[in-house]
Every structure is written in structure tokens, then in C-alpha cells.
Structure 1
Amino acid sequence: MKGVLGELQVNLAARFFLDKNQYKLFKNVTLPTEDGSTQIDHIIVSRYGVFVIETKNIRGWIFGGQNQKTWTQKIYRHTQKFQTPLHQNYKHTETLKSALQIAPEKMFSLVVFVGNSEFKTPMPENVVYGGAYIRFIKSKIQPILTETEVKTIASSIESGRLTPSIKTHRTHVKHVKKIVEDKQRSLDENLCPKCGNPMVLRKTRSGVNQGKQFWGCSGFPKCRMIRQIP
């Protein structure tokens, strides 16, 4: 529900502050991929480029950097990691670029945070709060697509997307859950069974097994748990 409310805010901002004759908005676009599907919150097509928008409705302090794989959300004493939205949106832009056969310089990745959140580290210019995404889009004033190209791209998105339906959404959610579960299983398998810290790859320095690799707890020397490699 938070995601729906966040996307609604983006929809309303586009409706009231972007000229619909110049900017074509597509919402919840699900595209087929080799391993399932990917869902794009919003795509805005104009003569000034194609804007691929990922919406995040979360609260608290946000810490992160452009090249980090995960960012951190902190609410009072509670801290948790989440996938960097820029990396998440990268798959979206790559899928769309491949489907449209469009040059990468004509596409813009944009992450929009809504809700009661606050950045505690400097963010890239394409990571913004709420309505600031309108300013980002309007900052692109040099036409890079012709009217014909805009119509062709809009038509391709409309014909290439999976038909919006409850079934399409459920299938995509199921696919995403499987990816998350697989990643979590991989992480769990590489955690120390004694203290829960990550296991790291090490080498035996001496003795009959010198040079042989094994998994050792990253909490060493407090935790000396090891797991031999067959």
C-alpha cells in the first residue's frame, strides 16, 4: 500500500505540473525479461528524453552513495539495509533500452523518494525528494527526440508491455519474491552458524594443509568457527 500511495503522488505531480501534450506518462509498466519480468513504476516520454522513474516510499534517515550496492535506512535505533534504488532502476533502464532500441544518452534514470525521509549523505542529482523530480525533468530543455520518435516510442511501450492485470501483478510479485528468497538463502548459507557473522575465505598459512582454502568466521579471534571446503 505504501508503494501505491507513493506512486500516486508521482502520478498527481505529473498530471498537474507536466504538459500532457509534451510529456506522455506510463504507469506500472511490466516488461518481459529472459528470467521473468521487471516492473517500472513510471515512464515519461518526451522530446527531451525518456525518463525511467523508480519510486521509494520510506521514512527515516537515508545513508548511501552512488556506487554502493546497498543503502541504509535508520529509524531511531532500528537500522536496516535495502537495495540501492539506482541499481534497481538500472535493470529497468537496460530492459527498456533493449526493447526500444534507443541510445542510452536519450534515457534518464530517476529515483524519487516520497514520505517522511531525510538524506544524511550527499545524493546524486537524479535521486530527489517528491516533487523535485518535476524540476529534474524540466531541467532537460534540449530536444533530443523528434515528434515521430516520441510517438514511435510511446506506441512501442504500449504494445510491448504485459497487459496490466491482477494476474500480471501477482506473477511479477511471485518472481520478485523468488529472487529475494534466493539471495537470502545464499546469504544464510554463508553465515557463521555459531555467531551469525559472515564467513570469509581464508588460506591455511602453515602445516600439512598450507595453502588450502577454508571458510573462517569474520568475527575471529572472538569466534574461531571454520568450515572446511571439500
Structure 2
Amino acid sequence: MDFTPIFGQVFHSLWYLIPLLLVAAVVKSPWFKGVMGEAIVNISAKFFLDRETYHLIKNVTLPVDDGTTQIDHIIVSKFGIIVIETKNMKGWIFGDAKQKMWTQKIYKHTTKFQNPLFQNYKHTKALEALLDLDNSVIHSVVVFVGDSTFKTPMPENVTQAGGYIRYIKSMNQQVLDTSQVANAIERIQTGRKPASFNTSREHVKHVKSIVAEKANNNACPKCGSELILRTVKSGVNAGSQFKGCAKFPACRYTTN
């Protein structure tokens, strides 16, 4: 029996589901979550921070010794320069200012991710070198957007949603004059790489090379711990070997 006409009828009646599925896949992707998180911070900054006092510069890629570093948002004001790292995450968030890795827990699923304060430290140092300013006027802020809940006490510069606006406004002591603010803005705009697709692609390539280098050095790319050779003890792959993180089950990274 020829089922071709039947398949044709089904496809003709359900073709509209294909773009819906594609849209759903994009919405759930890490890229889209990152874009939405940054958009939320951009919009709130424009609505709740005075544009004459606070100057927002977004998506800044700066050259550094080992490649590039990408900063989500920089706010330049007479009260200092704020470097913002955005995290669009959900679930319970566990972390401490001094921990290398933080934890995201969604029901029974646990994921480790790099301490965003450590991640933003590289951003602040790159900006410090570019602007030739004292580090006391450059501030690191981490903003979590999305349906997440902090389950451990967080430093005051780690906030949720609009909390970063209150933190920025709490800085009320002038540390930069008008000429210093203008000079900082100009240096950032001239020192950054063009905000283009090629710049983002090259930065992603650079980040992937760092992850690959960590893997080649027998270090877990997720938490930095040692990778240990293990053997599958049961199932269809029993006897085969793989490398797993020494911190299992806290970190479940594996590689062939």
C-alpha cells in the first residue's frame, strides 16, 4: 500500500507546526536566554537611570593578552564605572564569593557553573588597564534575571533583576569629574572591537579554545578539577573507559 498520499495530507495539515517548533528551540537555547537577559538589563537601565548621569555601553569586546574578553554592560558615571555580568538562569542558586564554582539546582538536576564574580573580575581588570584608572572606581556587579532564587547569602553586588539599579544608586560619592567621565567613554568606544557578528564569532572561538586547552591539560572544563580515568561497570558499555571529573557526583562532566 502506498502511504505517500497519507503522509502528504498529514504534512499539509500540520506544516504550521514546523516554524513553531523552530521558534521553541530558539527560545530555549542558551544564546536566546543570554540575549533576553541582556535586553532586560538594558531596558531597566534606560528607564530607571538618568541618562545625563549614567552612560550605558553594551556588548563591549576588549582585546586582552590571551585573546578577547566580552563585557555585557558598562555604565560610566561620576560615581564610578560599573561592569555588569548578566546571568539568565532559573532554579535555586547556591554560591559564595570565594567559591570557584557555583551550583544551579532545578528539582533533582544539579549543574555547576563558574563563579560569575570570578568571570567579571577579568572584565574589570581589562577595563582598568584600558582606562588607566584606579581599581577603586571600577565596580563589579552580577545580575541574575529569570525565575531564580538565591539559597545562600550573596554579596551585595550580586543581585536579582532590578536590584542592581538600587545597588548602583547607592553609590552617591563622586569619584570622577566631567572630563574623566567623557575620557572613559571615549577610550571604551575607541578601544573596543567592532560590535559585529564576526567579533562575537571570534570571541566564541577563543572561549572554546580555552575550554579545549583545559581538557587537553586533563582539567575538568566545568570546575577545573582533575579528570580521572574510569571504567563502565554495567550496561551495554560495560568495560569501556572514559574520563570523569574527580568531584563526581558534585560535578558530572565526562569525556571519551
Q: Place the TM-score, normalised by the shorter chain, in its bin.
A: 0.7 to 0.9
Please report how far the alpha carbon of residue 184 of structure 1 lies from its aligned counterpart in structure 2 after TM superposition: 3.6
Equivalent residue number for residue 163 of structure 2: 132
Report the equivalent of 2:186.
155
Contact 1:49-1:143 at 8 Å conserved across structures: yes
Distance 1:46 1:97 in 2: 15
Aligned length: 202
Which residue is equivalent to 1:60?
91
**Maintained 8 Å contact 1:86/1:111:** yes
The superposition leaves residues 27-54 of structure 1 with CA deviations (integer Å, 9 ceiling, x where unpaired) of 0000001111000000000000000000
- Structure 1 residues 2, 199: closer, same or farther in 2, change over 3 A? closer
Q: 2:147 aligns with which of 89, 99, 116?
A: 116
- Residue of 181, 185, 190 corresponding to 2:227: 190
Percent of residue pairs bearing the same amino acid type: 53
Instruction: Please report the RMSD computed on the Cα atoms of aligned residues, expressed in angstroms.
Output: 1.8
User: Residue type matched to 1:9 in 2?
Assistant: I
> What is the match of residue 181 of structure 1?
212
Instruction: Report what 1:99 is aligned to.
Output: 130
TM-score after normalising by structure 1: 0.84
Larger helix percent: 2
Distance 1:46 1:153 in 2: 9
Q: Which amino acid aligns with 1:190?
A: L
CA distance in 2, matches of 1:177, 1:127: 26
Matches of 1:180 and 1:88 in 2, distance apart?
14
Say whether 1:77 aligns with 2:108.
yes
Could you give the per-residue CA deviations for residues 158-216 of structure 1, whole angstroms, max 9, x where no partner exists? 0000011110010001111111222244236731323766569xxxxxxxxxxxxxxxx
SS at match of 2:172: coil
Q: Does 1:167 align with 2:204?
A: no
Structure 2 unpaired stretches of 5+: 1-31, 221-225, 233-242, 250-256
Alpha-carbon distance between aligned partners in 2 of 1:66 and 1:128, rounded to the nearest angstrom: 13
